[in-house]
Structure 1
Amino acid sequence: MAFQYQTLAQQIAQKIYCGELVVGQRLSSLRQFAEQQKISLNTAKSCYELLEAQGLIYVKDKSGYFVQSQQKVQQIAVPDHPDFKSRPREVSNLELQIQIHEAAINNRLIHLGSIQLSPNLVPVEALRRSIQRALKHCKPEDFLYSDRQGHPQLREALSAHWAEDGFYIAKEDIYISNGCMPALSVVIQSFTQVGDSIIIPTPNYNGQLQLLALLKRKIIEIPANTEGFDIDRLEQVMRDSGAKACLLTANFQNPLGFCLSNPDKEKIAQLAAKYQCYVIEDDIYAECSFNAKRPLPIKYWDQAGYVIYCGSISKSLSTSYRVGWFCIPQRLQHLHAQLMTQNVSVNTPLQLGLADLIFSRAYRQHLTELRPQLMAQVEQYRQFIYQSFQGVEIRLNQPQGSYALWLQLPQQIDSLAMYYYAQQHSINIVPGLIFGEDKRYNNCIRLNAGHELSEEIRDAIVLLGDWVKNQLHFADTTKNALRSDLTQERLFEAS
């Protein structure tokens, strides 16, 4: 478990990254900070020393501690996003979606594509001990066909784990699945039909768009940006479209990284009940918060039973640990038999191992240690990207959690051409083209910041930056040449 000084340092670092503490601002003295936090002077000193080591603050003799200068932490503009009309439509470019998704999970390429944690951030020893204990203490029936709803021990562990974070879901309402995407697939197929429309904010995770296309569901897009999505538009579409469901991520959405406010989450739960439009909540990134406390899901405010809660531990623990869940409200319990038929049984030892990891507090300890590491790592990526694209007008999201980075480039840049160039150099990126329709995000790319910023990854980012600069230079040269030719042509005609 993290020491108190580490938790406090994490909280201060978050305020610096979010701009709540500005460059050059003086912090409380050690003695004042210790009194404010009701901690010892040594703990206060350890906290400030950690922040200083991270390059976030500096000490000035006889003056105190200050937020580090802008030379260390650059202020980077966040992406802007277009407005558009919301209407039912099919997901286009399915073949391209599949091709890019398969390339993004190719482990032989440099990991800037698929959003996944570095193996070095996975608590391998804790997992090993939990699986060994689980096997040692399992019962004979655990070696028979497993319950399709999921092992009772894991459902009980998840229920207790979430209750500790401030929201309660009964273990009877939890269904264990082989990851989050299979959970979403089962839920979508259970109460929507082929041809039905699903409301989504865009830019939206391309894997969800691919799933909806494969299930032959249409989409109705609503505009999103780095602060969230248009709640008024959501209500309008719920009211007028007749859509049965919307697919939303309220906490650290992929690719933008926003976290909706509690009033917005409450409003969404109320709208779902008012218009009888189910909210399928994909909360897969919530435990990757940069704050010490996990944000509450929309499900917390669901009084009428119109929110279906889904998630997994693939983003907070390991993408290879294929355990996820969906939680069905009492309103939909009549679908139990259908859900049991569609859901695929999950490996029992893995379920028992995860239950032990949660009950032993090892998973909670892992999250406590992971969050400040992720926060520092994501900011390292942001600063290095800014430096590598120096001279280019870029915009970059500042996620409040998770590790997806959304990079907006000048309009002249074609993200698909950039993707193919990166592939030629064994680099994985995901072009913005496939995060929505109408090529709205064709000058954007999504990058993974879940791996350490190694020399190999630094070189890859520099290579991408150089490609963009060359593309812009070529475009400017061509434009100037055309302008010169046009001028000469006019002079010739005038003579």
Structure 2
Amino acid sequence: MQFQYQSLAQQLAQRIFNGELSRGQRLNSLRQFAQQQQVSLNTAKNCYELLEAQGLIYAKHKAGYFVSHEGQQDHHEILLPEHPDFKPKTRQVSNLELQIEIQQASIDSRLIHLGSIQFSPNFVPVDALRRSMQRAMKHSRPEDFLYSDRQGHVRLREALSAHWAEDGFFIQKDDIFISNGCMPALSVLIQCLTQVGESIIIPTPNFNGQLQLLAALKRKIVEVPASTEGIDLQRLEQAMRSSGAKVCLLTANYQNPLGFCLSNADKEKIAQLAAEFQCFVIEDDIYAECSFLAQRPLPIRYWDKQGYVLYCGSVSKSLSPSYRVGWFCLTPRLQQLRSQFILRNVVVNTPLQLGLSDLIYSRAYRNFLNQLRPILMAQVQQYRNFIVQCFDQVELRLSCPEGGYALWLQFPEQIDGLEMYRFARDQGINIVPGKVFGEDNRYNNCIRLNAGHELTDEIRQAIMCLADWTRAQLKHCA
């Protein structure tokens, strides 16, 4: 759990980012703040010191504490992206070759990382991971060096079950399957629940990696409109009722690329729709632990009463993508297919599973998340402010995520995101064009940027380069 001073620091940080507290504004004294929040003077001091360490406030001798961070001064002028309405219909995923090309570019270490959604390796808790791996090996048993359980080591399944219970939702260890990341987990579920040529309901714009997976598995899609506010539940209900699809694949918490987090009421409604139309919901909850708030948001699975919501995730976005450890969770409704899920699942190496279970049980993982959240919140806001500054005099619309670190940018219709992607690639910069997040060229004037790396001078120069190209294109079209 998070310490009280950390929760208070996040609340103050959010007020700074939202522009409620302006640069240079004097904060309450430590004693006043402690009285106001009904906490000890030591808790108030720790809160201010944490904000000071994050560069959000500064102390002036005999004068008190002042806001140092440049908040969202133009908060009301940053427009959110617009999104088209359309009726769901069954179709093939197109542009598979382009999807593959862009995926390969996103992991090219020679390019500046504004494409693939991953945070800086400088954030990874290497020392804590090393200690957990060493302890896991020290306390391992002889059977840990034999062929491992295809469902996953019981120790990690128990650790995950306890970890989620602390966040308010409960999944038994026997219902958890450990996989080689989230995408392999999705692949197992899709192949067990659907046949080649059948349809999967998805929100649009949707994570391009999922679209690539569905195309590779030869599944069709039924697109449902989504926006920075969430998923159009009326269209979702229409798709579940009339499309014939048996599966819906979606993310409720900090969806990629839009960054929305559905309300609890919407999550409950989706669980009810799944039961009403007997349509399984595969919930990809990979970003939930990258919340900007102290409390992780609940998944749709929490409201599932009939066993139609299958929970998936991994540590790829909250710890490191290199560890390739994820999971999927069954419900009693699918226990008769248990052997099929086990046969399709790929075994994850045991030492890594034991190391991650130690990281969770030692609370090093939760402590890391508590430290990471305010850092990500500050960093994403820094990106947003800098992007708005760079694209001055451009009619830009920009997402405002409440968690995760994906940013969705929408430009005037004259700007072609695919052309920008190719220009950026030639300049040694990686971005992802909106074209690959949906069909019918709905998002041609959009791009997605990764805000997971520190906003270095190199990345600033890359963003300025994109802005200069955009202004030149608009001038040419005028």
CA contact (8 A) 2:280 2:310 kept: yes
Please give the alpha-carbon distance, in whole angstroms, between the structure 2 residues aligned to 1:363 and 1:236.
41
- Aligned residue for 1:325, secondary structure, equals strand
Give unpaired runs (5+ residues) of structure 2: none
Residue number in structure 1 paired with 2:451 = 449
Identity %: 72
Matched, 1:472 2:474: yes
Residue number in structure 2 paired with 1:95 = 97
Identify which range, 437-446 or 33-42, moves more after superposition. Answer: 33-42
Residue type matched to 2:367 in 1? Q
Report 1:72-471 matches (<5 A). 73-75=73-75, 76-471=78-473
Offset, 1:236: 1.4
Residue type matched to 2:185 in 1? A
Please give the alpha-carbon distance, in whole angstroms, between the structure 2 residues aligned to 1:368 and 1:58.
22
Please give the alpha-carbon distance, in whole angstroms, between the structure 2 residues aligned to 1:48 and 1:370.
17
Taking structure 1 as reference, are residues 22 and 194 closer, same or farther at Cα in structure 2, changes over 3 Å only? farther
Please give the alpha-carbon distance, in whole angstroms, between the structure 1 residues aligned to 2:267 and 2:88.
21
- Aligned residue for 1:311, secondary structure, equals strand
Residue type matched to 1:184 in 2? L
Offset, 1:439: 0.8
Taking structure 1 as reference, are residues 144 and 283 closer, same or farther at Cα in structure 2, changes over 3 Å only? same
Residue number in structure 1 paired with 2:39 = 39
Offset, 1:33: 3.4
CA contact (8 A) 1:14 1:291 kept: no
Give unpaired runs (5+ residues) of structure 1: 477-495
CA RMSD between the two structures? 2.4
Identify which range, 32-41 or 290-299, moves more after superposition. Answer: 32-41
Offset, 1:32: 4.8
CA contact (8 A) 1:395 1:408 kept: yes
Please give the alpha-carbon distance, in whole angstroms, between the structure 2 residues aligned to 1:26 and 1:271.
50
Please give the alpha-carbon distance, in whole angstroms, between the structure 1 residues aligned to 2:242 and 2:370.
44
- Aligned residue for 2:224, secondary structure, equals strand
Taking structure 1 as reference, are residues 68 and 227 closer, same or farther at Cα in structure 2, changes over 3 Å only? farther
Please give the alpha-carbon distance, in whole angstroms, between the structure 2 residues aligned to 1:26 and 1:237.
53
Offset, 1:18: 5.3
Please give the alpha-carbon distance, in whole angstroms, between the structure 2 residues aligned to 1:475 and 1:449.
30
Please give the alpha-carbon distance, in whole angstroms, between the structure 2 residues aligned to 1:425 and 1:397.
25
CA contact (8 A) 1:200 1:221 kept: yes
The size of the alignment, in residue pairs, is: 475
Residue type matched to 1:343 in 2? N
Offset, 1:248: 0.9
CA contact (8 A) 1:415 1:432 kept: yes
CA contact (8 A) 2:2 2:294 kept: no
Residue type matched to 1:451 in 2? H
Please give the alpha-carbon distance, in whole angstroms, between the structure 2 residues aligned to 1:81 and 1:57.
37
Please give the alpha-carbon distance, in whole angstroms, between the structure 1 residues aligned to 2:22 and 2:271.
38
Identify which range, 429-438 or 35-44, moves more after superposition. Answer: 35-44
> Which structure has the larger Rg?
1
Identify which range, 397-406 or 1-10, moves more after superposition. Answer: 1-10
Offset, 1:64: 9.4
TM score, norm. by length of structure 1: 0.91
Taking structure 1 as reference, are residues 290 and 72 closer, same or farther at Cα in structure 2, changes over 3 Å only? closer
Residue number in structure 2 paired with 1:485 = none
Residue type matched to 1:249 in 2? T
Q: Deviations over 1:108-162 (max 9, x none)?
A: 2111010011110000011011111111111111111111000000000000000
Please give the alpha-carbon distance, in whole angstroms, between the structure 1 residues aligned to 2:3 and 2:313.
28
- Aligned residue for 1:146, secondary structure, equals coil
Residue type matched to 1:344 in 2? V
- Aligned residue for 1:193, secondary structure, equals coil
CA contact (8 A) 1:246 1:280 kept: yes
CA contact (8 A) 2:5 2:46 kept: yes
CA contact (8 A) 1:2 1:369 kept: no
CA contact (8 A) 2:18 2:72 kept: no
Residue type matched to 1:225 in 2? S
Residue number in structure 2 paired with 1:483 = none
